[in-house]
Structure 1
């Protein structure tokens, strides 16, 4: 079981902030879906006419309930904290209108946003939390099947984006898939990074 310390709490908070910063400043101004949970919310809104906010939180509550049972309460609590920090970051940045300064270059914002988002989620995974939504499903797959969470999240989210393509502009879907591909590369890089071990010189 993951031991939570002051260090892990700081990195989880930092990762959650980076995730929210990337969404608010680089991805949302271009209407690029940041992940599968947002995609599920769009589908629930389209088919069941649920408000997007309600649909998103209902889905997160469902997967967090699964997290409590299979991932343990420590990781679930860490995830709830991460989701709260991410939401607050997005709300503050949107309220301050700082994101209005972005959106000048679609490709540059897409690449920068995907990289920052990947670092944020990577820190969350590395220190025992997740970004919520499909990230929890990816962690379950990593826990029981040994698959890298970033790669699993890419395949899951891509499938959801393809479903959304029937009700949204296909160009946005392609941008979302590219964002997921790039960010998951960064996620796995951060999550699987191992500090180099210094070898002691053998006495001659």
Structure 2
């Protein structure tokens, strides 16, 4: 049986990894093409468009403002994990955009890679009971009280924000944003429901004694 300290350290590292992947997808693939990564991403693009606030700062401010809901409806542990996640995500957005150039210089290839990586990052966070921030907090609250996969409310709310973003900036964005959300939320749903234990128990090289435990 694992010690609580060991489990907490593992959970912490997984949260950091998920947030870093999410931030990398935004900073390298999505934001350089002005593609909103989600509801918070869409609002971030709008804030940047209206007030010229740096993307990483606007993203952190929007995500942090949602922590009040996380504390009230979820738990202090979930709120702290979410705070860690959005902080790492914001730092990752800033650093990845500075350290790495967009590899393909093709917005559709960037969209595909960014959407997959975004879904992986968000899925990792939600599996740990931690929101990716912003609209993800609302989706996690709905998931908790309505017993639904958080990917469903996440997609619906984000889609509404994308319409507003497209109306203000460019209607072409809504097409790319919906594609991004469709791909990423499918990845999120798969990771959220995926049973690593079932795969582990089916590995042929494991002794029979380990499979029974």
Kindly tell me: are residues 86 and 59 of structure 1, through their superposed partners in 2, closer, same or farther at Cα, counting changes over 3 Å? closer
1:19-58, aligned counterparts within 5 Å?
19-43=22-46, 50=51, 52=53, 56-58=59-61
Alpha-carbon distance, 1:73 to partner: 0.5
Count of residues paired in the alignment: 194
Q: How big is each residue's C-alpha offset from its partner over 1:15-73, in whole Å with a ceiling of 9 and x where there is no partner?
A: 00100111111111211011101323455677xx5554576444323310110111111
Instruction: Considering Cα pairs closer than 8 Å and 6+ residues apart, tell me whether 1 or 2 has the greater RCO.
Output: 1
Root-mean-square deviation (CA, aligned residues, Å) is 2.3
Q: How big is each residue's C-alpha offset from its partner over 1:78-111, in whole Å with a ceiling of 9 and x where there is no partner?
A: 0100111111111112222x12x43522222111
Report the 3-state secondary structure (helix = DSSP H, G, I; strand = E; otherwise coil) of the residue aligned with 2:66.
helix
Question: Residue in 2 aligned with 1:85?
Answer: 88
Report the 3-state secondary structure (helix = DSSP H, G, I; strand = E; otherwise coil) of the residue aligned with 2:20.
helix
Give the one of 55, 59, 62 matched to 2:65. Answer: 62
Question: Residue in 2 aligned with 1:162?
Answer: 163
More helix per residue? 2
Cα distance in 1 between the residues matched to 2:40 and 2:12: 24
Kindly tell me: are residues 108 and 6 of structure 1, through their superposed partners in 2, closer, same or farther at Cα, counting changes over 3 Å? same
Cα distance in 1 between the residues matched to 2:127 and 2:24: 19
Cα distance in 2 between the residues matched to 1:105 and 1:187: 24
Question: Residue in 1 aligned with 2:198?
Answer: 196
CA contact (8 A) 2:63 2:86 kept: no
Cα distance in 1 between the residues matched to 2:30 and 2:48: 20
Moved over 2 A (4+): 38-46, 49-62, 197-200
Moved more, 86-95 or 174-183: 86-95
Q: How big is each residue's C-alpha offset from its partner over 1:142-196, in whole Å with a ceiling of 9 and x where there is no partner?
A: 0001121112111100011112222111111110111011000000110111232
Alpha-carbon distance, 1:132 to partner: 0.2
Cα distance in 1 between the residues matched to 2:34 and 2:52: 17
Q: Any stretches of 5+ residues in structure 2 without a counterpart? A: 203-207, 209-213
Within the alignment, does 1:123 sit opposite 2:124 as a pair?
Answer: yes
